[in-house]
């Protein structure tokens, strides 16, 4: 198995403007710069909103990228009754993201956020 590491390659501050379209454009820019690789999964606090916009706009760049809500946000900030969120953006539905023993995930997005590039 190829070694995989969670990556937060860039950060940006969207003061009062962290809209879904701004996040998508920023991430697309980051992952299309020379030498960058398109991610297989994009984990984000409101990935359910992002995924719905991608589907509405049929953005080819993102269509085959898995989009999951960060587990903390999924469990604490997103409604269990939001069907789209629970059925399309739940980390538990992506076996390749689970740890070897299946008890969790092989990455910790909360820790990854703490090591963002300056
Ligand atoms: Zn959601």
pLDDT in tens, 82-108: 999 999 999 989 999 888 998 888 877
Average pLDDT of span 39-43: 91
Q: Which domain holds residue 41?
A: 20-113
Task: Report yes or no on 15 lying in a domain.
Answer: no
Task: Report yes or no on 8 lying in a domain.
Answer: no
Task: Report yes or no on 13 lying in a domain.
Answer: no
Q: How many domains does the chain have?
A: 1
CA-CA distance, 74 to 78, in Å (whole number)?
5
CA-CA distance, 79 to 86, in Å (whole number)?
8
Reply yes or no on whether the pLDDT at 41 is more than 80. Answer: yes
Question: Which two structure tokens, joined as six digits, stand for 118?
Answer: 């300056």
CA 105 / ligand 1 centre spacing (Å):
19
Q: Rounded to whole angstroms, what are the CA distances from 111 to 57, 70, 108? A: 32, 12, 5
**Ion ligand 1 residue ranges (Cβ < 5 Å):** 48, 78, 85
Reply yes or no on whether the pLDDT at 34 is more than 70. Answer: yes
The reported pLDDT for the residue numbered 66 is 94
CA 35 / ligand 1 centre spacing (Å):
31
Task: Report yes or no on 104 lying in a domain.
Answer: yes
Question: 59-77, pLDDT tens digit by residue?
Answer: 999 999 999 999 888 989 9
């Amino acid at each position: 198995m190829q070694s995989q590491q969670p990556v937060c390659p860039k950060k940006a501050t969207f003061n009062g403007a962290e809209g879904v379209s701004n996040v998508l454009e920023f991430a697309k820019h980051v992952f299309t710069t020379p030498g960058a690789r398109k991610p297989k999964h994009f984990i984000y606090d409101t990935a359910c909103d992002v995924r719905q916009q991608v589907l509405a706009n049929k953005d080819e760049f993102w269509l085959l990228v898995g989009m999951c809500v960060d587990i903390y946000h999924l469990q604490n900030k997103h409604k269990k009754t939001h069907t789209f969120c629970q059925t399309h953006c739940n980390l538990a539905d992506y076996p390749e993201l689970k740890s070897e023993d299946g008890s969790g995930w092989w990455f910790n997005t909360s820790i990854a956020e703490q090591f963002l590039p300056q």
